Structure 1
């Protein structure tokens, strides 16, 4: 099938590549690997630019990236699957499964509050300064001891870089009928069934040669530490990694398969991960008119006149109907949903246009510049649809 036949104009898709090439020449970032699909057919699949600032290693379609907070998307979907099995409920209180999480007002937080970032706890980057983040049990203990509720659950939307998904990961483990650890659950229940062969929690030895080492460029404000690798951001090079919030590696091709599963209502190649109704409910806005306090601050500092509302579903970010700066673009349908990772990667699914957009990039961008970059590319992708 030609690109034109699938409803994508080749000349317009080619413009996306030219824009990224220009960004790379201008040093905005080092390179990107992206894939655009419509109706399940690939319209654009390109690796552009470099892994590193020195332009020594070219990116390829098989380049493996640290995907940062896109890891959360995997935990979100596994949590929704656990709800479908009756293993958890959206109304389950965290403290009922993790009793050491007790203490008002946080002990009123439910699975829904975790998925929507409305627990009432502050959005801390790490629960204890300079701690290793590669072990789930250590992160959990630090959260229970150090991160307390500041308002009742449901009153504020504070994006949680770490806390919520460490708790969700622990909930999955403690309620798993087979007693599996988190890495096994993710592999057996998600990566393996979806054929995501280059995705893993941590840097699997056979992926090391293709692994893009993140260059933070002063954007990430804290050390992100693992216990065996050197450097200020060593967590992202650890082989063993249980960081449920940021610990996964993947490729654009694998993430595109994940997005396609969501576009198809929870099924891909005969394997069902979620029921269609679950995705339909999860991609609705469940934060109402609340602002995401993190991105509200980003917008105000950038001088944007209208900060975006949070528009968070059950784990997914939703574009919503407001015309504001948004990583998912301004031309996508308001039902568009997906997830993103700090300054580097994103996927979205537009269920109206039957499109997916997946991109992983090298050279971390500040938040506002990253939003503007992906807004531009997303709008160009949608403009190729006829």
Structure 2
């Protein structure tokens, strides 16, 4: 144990432990967890700090936290599992499985487009509120009815808040299970992973409080009127404090309200790094994993305004945007608002996860804090 850091890690990750301890001491972090899975062994599982803004409740081994868009990595995994079973085809139109989605010029939008943020449907037409997202029937019906905001398949525009509704409705139509039910019964329970879309009432006592940033990455009032960027960020306008409400925790928001910690995320996403099977539980096969690395978009994202590369379901390394991820074979990743991050590196059997409750200022995709941990982990493995 180093100061306020608990858990285990072998000597290669002493620097990671020290960084976490210093960040908690200095106030850069309030509470956080970092995990590294290598060839199916959890070689680092560290946590520390506090689960509340008042620093009265220690972050413990079973603390879970809303991880914002890192949730999307599990939602994409759910869809890929159906692909692996032969029940879903990423090259088929979404309307094959969800006929209503063909409305308003979307009949040719393919499943891969909603999984790679290239569908043209990156948010909801306004007026639309966070509370509207909680109504599954209303929110998915509105997405099915609206027209794309750019020509599908031609560019990425980050599906910030609605990716879980788009993919989740396809999962529901194909499997007969809601997204949160599919994730619980087909992913979390078989793997013994402490993760859920939303959070059950019995877990409220161990959910860490989200501590908002002081400054946004964008001044929303300056976004180009009528642009996909403006439409997405106002449809709906994000509010970090919403994650601390019970209504948020009870909702099925596969883009933004997954609850877990670094260990549980590393456990789940190691399926990609380990060839599809974790401790005998098969989620994917090699051919399905190969789909992830088929580049779907490469350029400045129409919503985030940063250079991004997208595979099917996951981001692919882009040094200008996330400098800590090496250009070293097949790697996929994504992160969450405020700085959380999950990286899958199949060529090395490596999965890296970082989850926290204090959101870093001005973050778009990763944060300086996340990048220091990731760099230290790779340095330890060099």
Deviation at 1:247, TM superposition (A): 2.6
Deviation at 1:374, TM superposition (A): 1.8
Decide whether the 8 Å contact of 2:337 with 2:364 is kept in 1. Answer: no
The 10-residue stretch of structure 1 (199-208 or 368-377) with the greater mean CA deviation from structure 2: 368-377
Specify which of 300, 324, 327 is matched with residue 291 of structure 1.
300
Paired positions, count: 354
- In structure 2, distance between residues paired with 1:70 and 1:159: 13
Deviation at 1:159, TM superposition (A): 0.5
Specify which of 349, 353, 369 is matched with residue 358 of structure 1.
353
RMSD: 2.7
Other-structure match for 2:167: 168
Decide whether the 8 Å contact of 1:282 with 1:313 is kept in 2. Answer: yes
- In structure 1, distance between residues paired with 2:191 and 2:159: 27
SS of 1:280's partner is helix
Other-structure match for 1:316: 314
- In structure 2, distance between residues paired with 1:79 and 1:352: 23
Pair 1:336-2:346 in alignment: no
Deviation at 1:66, TM superposition (A): 1.0
Could you report, residue by residue, the CA deviation over 1:316-362 in whole angstroms, capped at 9, with x for unpaired residues?
11115xx42406x1446242212222114211122233322111111
Deviation at 1:180, TM superposition (A): 2.8
Pair 1:278-2:273 in alignment: no
Decide whether the 8 Å contact of 1:133 with 1:224 is kept in 2. Answer: no
Other-structure match for 1:261: 271
SS of 1:258's partner is helix
Other-structure match for 2:376: 380
Structure 1: gaps spanning 5 or more residues: 1-8, 226-230, 298-307
Deviation at 1:126, TM superposition (A): 8.0
Other-structure match for 2:229: none
Decide whether the 8 Å contact of 2:33 with 2:47 is kept in 1. Answer: yes
Q: CA distance change for structure 1 residues 130 and 13 in 2, over 3 Å: closer, same or farther?
A: closer
Pair 1:245-2:258 in alignment: no
SS of 2:213's partner is coil
Deviation at 1:263, TM superposition (A): 1.4
Pair 1:190-2:187 in alignment: yes
Deviation at 1:39, TM superposition (A): 2.6
Deviation at 1:81, TM superposition (A): 1.6
Q: CA distance change for structure 1 residues 43 and 182 in 2, over 3 Å: closer, same or farther?
A: closer
Correspondence 1:21-170 to 2 at 5 A: 21-123=21-123, 128-145=128-145, 147-170=146-169
The 10-residue stretch of structure 1 (121-130 or 9-18) with the greater mean CA deviation from structure 2: 121-130
- In structure 1, distance between residues paired with 2:312 and 2:295: 8
- In structure 2, distance between residues paired with 1:244 and 1:164: 7
Deviation at 1:132, TM superposition (A): 3.2
Deviation at 1:160, TM superposition (A): 0.5
Other-structure match for 2:3: none
- In structure 1, distance between residues paired with 2:245 and 2:254: 12
Decide whether the 8 Å contact of 2:295 with 2:309 is kept in 1. Answer: yes
Other-structure match for 2:178: 181
Decide whether the 8 Å contact of 1:326 with 1:372 is kept in 2. Answer: no
- In structure 2, distance between residues paired with 1:271 and 1:127: 43
- In structure 2, distance between residues paired with 1:150 and 1:256: 35
Structure 2: gaps spanning 5 or more residues: 1-8, 221-236
Other-structure match for 1:326: 322
TM-score for the superposition, normalised by structure 1: 0.82
Decide whether the 8 Å contact of 1:236 with 1:247 is kept in 2. Answer: no
Decide whether the 8 Å contact of 1:202 with 1:238 is kept in 2. Answer: yes
Q: CA distance change for structure 1 residues 50 and 238 in 2, over 3 Å: closer, same or farther?
A: same
SS of 1:349's partner is strand
Pair 1:15-2:24 in alignment: no
